[in-house]
């Protein structure tokens, strides 16, 4: 028998994560929702409840499982604005959800989609963007790593011309995968202030959030944004003391899942359109994709090849102001 020696650093190892059939997001919380008080929160969850029930029924039909594994999650914005404290806010949210017959299994901070446990998740995903060059493009547009903008097609030419040359006629932007007519979208991924401090955009953070829920984020093969149990001492008085992802329900199904569904107010539709464009052009961790696909097949499920197609939405009416 011949001994085979390999360098450990040359072996790539992807650590697995537990998986549900569906990760069901039952809301985002932003300043305007909190300003409406407990009544607005109750109305928000009351509107979400029937759509959440429909999502559960749909995944049961898709998988053929009598009791599919479904976990629920909720995202609180502590990145763009910090309002109230976890100790004051979270009891209101949990009570409103319970009053509508909903249980929140996992609570995430939006800032964790930027950096979680010192891992720069947003930057990592930004580095994995691979732009799809539209037909006929000639490289005049700077790459996304320089511009901070990602499109689903070809921009309209600027129309600038050199001296003594005729201005080129206007041309419309075109969507790369258009169905007869284009729906062109150019997505801003970040901006930098005069001191070079970067603020990630809502669409990029939401794309990170979807990848986390699909179990596709890794840092050198290690899973990131892992849930931690809620503190027995109650909710902290500072957002920085709250874990990036908190497991509120000890009996919850796994946070990550083969598919995601987000039940959101209609105002999130433009952002989530941008999220799909980002996901379509993200070179996700191949080891994680292969691992999850194999496990899905063992579970009797055939997941879509496209990561974006593993994500679904329900856009429900806005609560009253």
Lowest mean pLDDT among 89-98, 137-146, 234-243, 284-293: 137-146
179 found inside a domain: no
pLDDT in tens, 111-152: 999 999 999 999 999 999 998 666 555 556 788 988 899 998
Of these ranges, 51-60, 166-175, 296-305, the one predicted with the greatest mean pLDDT is 51-60
pLDDT attached to residue 118:
93
172 found inside a domain: no
157 found inside a domain: no
pLDDT attached to residue 79:
92
pLDDT in tens, 178-226: 888 999 999 999 999 999 999 999 999 999 999 999 999 999 999 999 9
Q: How many domains does the chain have?
A: 1
Residues 130, 150: Cα–Cα separation, whole Å: 10
Top-confidence residue, 170 or 127: 127
214 found inside a domain: yes
Residues 204, 117: Cα–Cα separation, whole Å: 19
Residues 235, 241: Cα–Cα separation, whole Å: 9
165 found inside a domain: no
Q: Is the pLDDT of residue 4 over 70?
A: no
pLDDT attached to residue 9:
45
Candidates 104, 47, 112, 120; CA nearest to 77 is 112
pLDDT attached to residue 256:
98
Whether the Cβ atoms of residue 243 and residue 11 lie closer than 8 Å to each other: no
Query: Which range marks the domain in which residue 107 is found?
Result: 14-127+195-316
Whether the Cβ atoms of residue 284 and residue 265 lie closer than 8 Å to each other: no
pLDDT attached to residue 158:
63
Residues 210, 9: Cα–Cα separation, whole Å: 30
pLDDT attached to residue 203:
97
pLDDT attached to residue 160:
55
Q: How many residues does the chain have?
A: 321
Residues 298, 143: Cα–Cα separation, whole Å: 40
pLDDT attached to residue 143:
85
Candidates 18, 218, 229, 19; CA nearest to 106 is 229
Helices (H), 188-247: 202-213
Q: How far is residue 39 CA from its own chain's centroid?
A: 28
Contacts of 117-125 spanning 24+ positions with Cβ under 8 A? 117/224, 117/225, 117/244, 119/219, 119/224, 121/208, 121/212, 121/217, 121/224, 121/225, 122/190, 122/200, 122/204, 122/205, 122/208, 124/217, 124/219, 125/204, 125/207, 125/208, 125/211, 125/217, 125/278, 125/282
144 found inside a domain: no
pLDDT in tens, 217-242: 999 999 999 999 998 888 999 999 99
99 found inside a domain: yes
Percentage of residues in the chain with pLDDT exceeding 70?
89
Candidates 67, 130, 87, 159; CA nearest to 286 is 130
Candidates 250, 279, 97; CA nearest to 187 is 279
Top-confidence residue, 170 or 51: 51
pLDDT in tens, 10-39: 456 889 999 999 999 998 887 777 777 788
Q: Is the pLDDT of residue 62 over 80?
A: yes
pLDDT attached to residue 157:
74
pLDDT attached to residue 162:
54
Task: Band the pLDDT of 248: cuts 50, 70, 90.
Answer: very high
pLDDT attached to residue 136:
56
Candidates 124, 299, 307; CA nearest to 221 is 124
């Amino acid at each position: 028998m011949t001994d085979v020696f390999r360098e450990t650093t040359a072996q790539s190892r992807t650590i697995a994560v537990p998986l549900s059939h569906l990760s069901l997001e039952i809301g985002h919380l932003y300043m305007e929702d909190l300003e409406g008080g407990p009544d607005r929160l109750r109305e928000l969850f009351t509107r979400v409840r029937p759509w959440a029930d429909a999502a559960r029924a749909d995944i049961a039909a898709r998988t053929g499982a009598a009791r599919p594994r479904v976990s629920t999650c909720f995202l609180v914005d502590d990145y763009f604005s910090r309002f109230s404290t976890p100790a004051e806010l979270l009891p209101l949210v949990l009570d409103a959800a319970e009053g509508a017959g909903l249980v929140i299994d996992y609570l995430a901070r939006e800032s964790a989609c930027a950096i979680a446990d010192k891992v720069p998740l947003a930057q990592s995903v930004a580095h994995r963007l691979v732009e799809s060059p539209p037909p006929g493009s000639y490289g005049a547009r700077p790459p996304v790593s320089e511009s901070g903008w990602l499109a689903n097609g070809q921009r309209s030419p600027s129309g600038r011309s050199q001296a003594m040359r005729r201005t080129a006629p206007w041309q419309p932007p075109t969507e790369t995968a258009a169905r007869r007519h284009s729906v062109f979208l150019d997505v801003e991924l970040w901006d930098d202030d005069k001191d070079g401090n970067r603020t990630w955009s809502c669409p990029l953070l939401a794309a990170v959030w979807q990848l986390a829920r699909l179990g596709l984020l890794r840092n050198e093969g290690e899973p990131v944004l892992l849930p931690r149990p809620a503190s027995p001492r109650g909710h902290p008085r500072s957002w920085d003391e709250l874990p990036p992802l908190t497991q509120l329900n000890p009996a919850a199904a796994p946070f990550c899942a083969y598919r995601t569904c987000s039940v959101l107010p209609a105002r999130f539709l433009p952002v989530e359109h941008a999220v799909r464009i980002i996901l379509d052009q993200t070179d996700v961790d191949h080891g994680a994709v292969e691992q999850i696909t194999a496990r899905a097949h063992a579970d009797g499920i055939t997941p879509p090849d496209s990561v974006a197609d593993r994500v679904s939405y329900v856009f429900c009416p806005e609560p009253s102001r």
